[in-house]
């Protein structure tokens, strides 16, 4: 049998063959190793063939360098959903609150009264915690009252911001930054919550924007403690994620994350530290969830079989719940002291009735609404106290929520529960205007729940109405987006048309338009130079509630003890002081001030026009044993 091997063995025997004339042949022969009997090595020949084929293979991918790996990690971070959501929420807050950051050192949103008070609160917390923490609750205002920092919602959670900068200008800049950040956190927190509960990105975006920029919030532009609700929804999102729970899929044990649950409790504790006005209802919502959830879990475990909870998650809940409870108890102590010292600080049913909105308030926009403000002027005129009674969550939100009852990603049972929640929260927010004077309703809680009698504005519970409406709306928008994806998949090529893209963004645009503001931004009066040199304790005249808030802001320059102050109630000591100094400067008023330890009085003649002190600068003081001097347009009386 003739084989290739026979042919290969005959090659060396024909050394004088004409082919040996090829000059390259000796070189090829030299490159090819031979076996002992003179034949080329078969393994080497196969290896060389393999090397030839490798020439046609693509170049092997080189491992990325350390710099490239870092760049890839940064790229993944910047394009992550939560990075984009955070940056988008912040950018949107800057735009939607404009012109707040156009001149943040001189102007302030809404008016110069309550924002000045809250700018002082943040500044005081930052100042005293770095100088004398034991005196935290004893502010430099309302002198000589104790626990004056607890006369209003404290905003204590913003204390770290108060440690940056000093003086009135820094306080105004700080306030404006927090004002913008409050909107951003509300948007991001609501987005995170609705995403965790099972909605799509577009649905969560609509819910987040609707929650943060509902028209009723524009009436609260001067109340940072009301606008600062982002911690509520963010904490709920973290707790839901930590417990592996969503509206759409229920409890999924494999998705439990004890760290997220603990973080949720810590955020909830921080939210509570901002104040009880909206923090106390949040605490009771968490308590209700804490009581109901184990019962539901136990019942479903009995029906559906073993549903593990986990020791780590249980420990996280216990530790986080203790931190939250401790925060509430520690925050409550100074407020209980205030009620003991000033029993009239407790909210009466008559005061609650004064701030209880009628049902039409939920269809009325505040004057600061760019879209509806002018159109609803007549409706606002019928409301007894429209700043707290213009509670419109948004007509677009109402429409989307109604659509969500019919067409939604949520199950029918969930939709009905959300609708029930909307109706209940509206009833509670109406206060004494619902049913028989709020019973059953808000006044029932007033008589049963500890601390509920300290809340005088039931309408602020519209926050929960807005959140539940947002969940219904997110269900509809997410269902629409899902249907759009199905239509896209059926197309060749699979892409949505221009009109489909526009239609998907219409709900978001409608909600945004209703949140556009025309909030005034007045210029904050500069602090008088006389206040820096006047010996403390000092009384600034004129003495009146609206002006005293500005004086509180001015006192952030060194925090001297001042008699002036404004809060949710007026202490008897300040009422008596106001009556005693109406005739200042005279013998009786000067004696009263000296008896109470006041060392100086600063009179601002330009602001005293139309007050009892309009002519005070013209009254001789030679017989009063006081010194008087003019300092940059102000009159300083030294009583010691």
Positions of the chain with pLDDT under 50: 1-32, 35-36
Asked if the structure places residue 525 within a domain, the reply is no
Q: Residue by residue, what is the 3-state secondary structure of 246-277?
A: ECCCEECHHHCCHHHHHHHHHHHHHHHHCCHH
Asked if the structure places residue 561 within a domain, the reply is yes
Asked if the structure places residue 134 within a domain, the reply is yes
If asked whether residues 302 and 437 sit together in one domain, one would say: yes
Residue ending a domain, among 484, 514, 544, is 514
If asked whether residues 165 and 206 sit together in one domain, one would say: yes
Q: How does DSSP assign 184-224, residue by residue?
A: HHHHHHHHHHHHHTT--HHHHHHHHHHHHS-GGGGGGTT-H
Contact predicate 564/539, CB 8 Å? yes
Residue ending a domain, among 514, 539, 570, is 514
If asked whether residues 627 and 500 sit together in one domain, one would say: no
Phi, psi of 392 (to 5 degrees): -65, 115
If asked whether residues 338 and 400 sit together in one domain, one would say: yes
If asked whether residues 300 and 154 sit together in one domain, one would say: yes
SS3 content of the chain, % helix, strand, coil (to 5): 60, 5, 35
Q: Residue 249's Cα: distance from chain center in Å?
A: 27
In whole angstroms, give the CA distance from residue 213 to residue 229: 12
Asked if the structure places residue 17 within a domain, the reply is no
In whole angstroms, give the CA distance from residue 548 to residue 60: 75
Asked if the structure places residue 230 within a domain, the reply is yes
pLDDT in tens, 455-467: 889 999 999 999 9
If asked whether residues 562 and 504 sit together in one domain, one would say: no
pLDDT in tens, 577-605: 999 999 999 999 999 999 999 999 999 99
Asked if the structure places residue 40 within a domain, the reply is no
If asked whether residues 503 and 550 sit together in one domain, one would say: no
In whole angstroms, give the CA distance from residue 376 to residue 365: 6
Degrees (nearest 5) of the Cα angle 620, 625, 631? 65
In whole angstroms, give the CA distance from residue 560 to residue 552: 10
Q: Residue 336's Cα: distance from chain center in Å?
A: 27
Asked if the structure places residue 66 within a domain, the reply is no
198's CB contacts (< 8 A; 6+ apart) are 246, 247, 248, 249, 409, 410
Domain span at residue 182 reads 88-514
If asked whether residues 154 and 288 sit together in one domain, one would say: yes
If asked whether residues 155 and 279 sit together in one domain, one would say: yes
If asked whether residues 486 and 558 sit together in one domain, one would say: no
Asked if the structure places residue 27 within a domain, the reply is no
If asked whether residues 570 and 507 sit together in one domain, one would say: no
Residue 349 burial (10 A CB sphere; 0-12, 13-18, 19+): middle
Of the CA atoms within 13 Å of residue 192, those in its CB half-sphere come to 28
> How many structural domains compose the chain?
2
Selection from 109, 157, 391 nearest residue 276 by Cα: 157
If asked whether residues 467 and 405 sit together in one domain, one would say: yes
| pLDDT (0 to 100) of residue 54 | 65
Residue ending a domain, among 480, 514, 548, is 514
């Amino acid at each position: 049998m003739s084989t290739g091997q026979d042919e290969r063995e005959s090659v060396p025997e024909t050394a004088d063959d004409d082919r040996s004339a090829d000059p390259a042949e000796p070189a090829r022969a030299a490159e090819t190793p031979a076996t002992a009997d003179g034949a080329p090595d078969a393994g080497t020949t196969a290896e060389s063939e393999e090397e030839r084929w490798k020439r046609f293979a693509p170049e092997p991918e080189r491992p990325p360098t350390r710099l490239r790996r870092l760049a890839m990690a940064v790229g993944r971070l910047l394009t992550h959903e939560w990075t984009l959501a955070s940056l988008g929420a912040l950018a949107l807050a800057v735009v939607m609150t404009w012109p707040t950051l156009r001149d943040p050192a001189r102007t302030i949103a809404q008016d110069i009264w309550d924002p000045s008070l809250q700018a002082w609160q943040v500044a005081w917390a930052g100042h005293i915690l770095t100088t004398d923490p034991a005196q935290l609750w004893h502010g430099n205002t309302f002198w000589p009252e104790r626990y004056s920092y607890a006369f209003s919602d404290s905003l204590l959670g913003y204390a770290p911001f108060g440690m940056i900068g000093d003086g009135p200008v820094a306080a105004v800049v700080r306030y404006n930054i927090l004002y913008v950040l409050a909107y951003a956190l509300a948007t991001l927190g609501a987005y995170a919550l609705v995403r965790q509960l099972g909605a799509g990105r577009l649905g969560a975006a609509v819910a987040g924007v609707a929650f943060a920029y509902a028209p009723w919030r524009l009436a609260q532009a001067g109340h940072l403690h009301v606008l600062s609700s982002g911690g509520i929804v963010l904490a709920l999102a973290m707790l839901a994620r930590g417990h592996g729970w969503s509206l759409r899929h229920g409890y999924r044990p494999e998705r439990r994350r004890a760290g997220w649950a603990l973080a949720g409790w810590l955020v909830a504790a921080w939210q509570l530290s901002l104040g009880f006005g909206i923090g106390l209802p949040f605490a009771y919502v968490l308590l209700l969830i804490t009581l109901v959830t184990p019962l539901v879990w136990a019942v479903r475990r009995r029906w559906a079989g073993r549903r593990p909870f986990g020791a780590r998650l249980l420990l996280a809940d216990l530790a986080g719940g203790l931190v939250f409870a401790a925060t509430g108890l520690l925050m409550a102590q100074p407020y209980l002291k205030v009620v003991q010292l000033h029993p009239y600080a407790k909210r009466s049913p008559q005061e609650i009735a004064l701030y209880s909105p009628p049902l039409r308030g939920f269809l009325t926009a505040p004057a600061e609404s760019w879209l509806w403000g002018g159109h609803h002027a007549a409706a606002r005129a019928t409301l007894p106290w429209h700043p707290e009674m213009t509670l419109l969550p948004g007509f677009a939100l109402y429409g989307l929520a109604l659509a969500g009852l019919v067409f939604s990603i949520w199950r029918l049972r969930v939709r009905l529960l959300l609708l029930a929640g909307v109706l209940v929260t509206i009833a509670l927010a109406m206060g004494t205007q619902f049913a028989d004077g709020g019973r059953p309703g808000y006044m029932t809680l007033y008589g049963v729940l500890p601390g509920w009698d300290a809340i005088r504005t039931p309408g602020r519970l519209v926050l929960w109405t807005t959140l539940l409406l947002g969940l219904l709306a997110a269900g509809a928008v997410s269902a629409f987006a899902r249907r759009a994806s199905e239509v896209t998949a059926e197309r060749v090529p699979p892409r949505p048309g221009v009109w489909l893209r526009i239609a998907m963004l219409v709900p978001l645009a409608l909600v945004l338009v209703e949140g556009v503001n025309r909030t005034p931004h007045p210029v904050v009066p500069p602090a008088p130079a006389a206040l820096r040199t006047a010996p403390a304790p000092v009384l600034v005249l004129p003495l009146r509630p609206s002006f005293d808030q500005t004086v509180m802001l001015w006192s952030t320059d060194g925090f001297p003890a001042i008699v002036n102050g404004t809060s949710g109630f007026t202490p008897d000591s300040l009422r008596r002081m106001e009556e005693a100094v109406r005739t200042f400067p005279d013998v009786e008023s000067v004696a009263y001030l000296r008896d109470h330890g006041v060392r100086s009085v600063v009179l601002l003649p330009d602001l005293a026009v139309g007050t009892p002190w309009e002519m005070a600068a013209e009254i001789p003081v030679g017989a009063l044993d006081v010194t008087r001097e003019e300092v940059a347009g102000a009159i300083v009386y030294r009583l010691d």
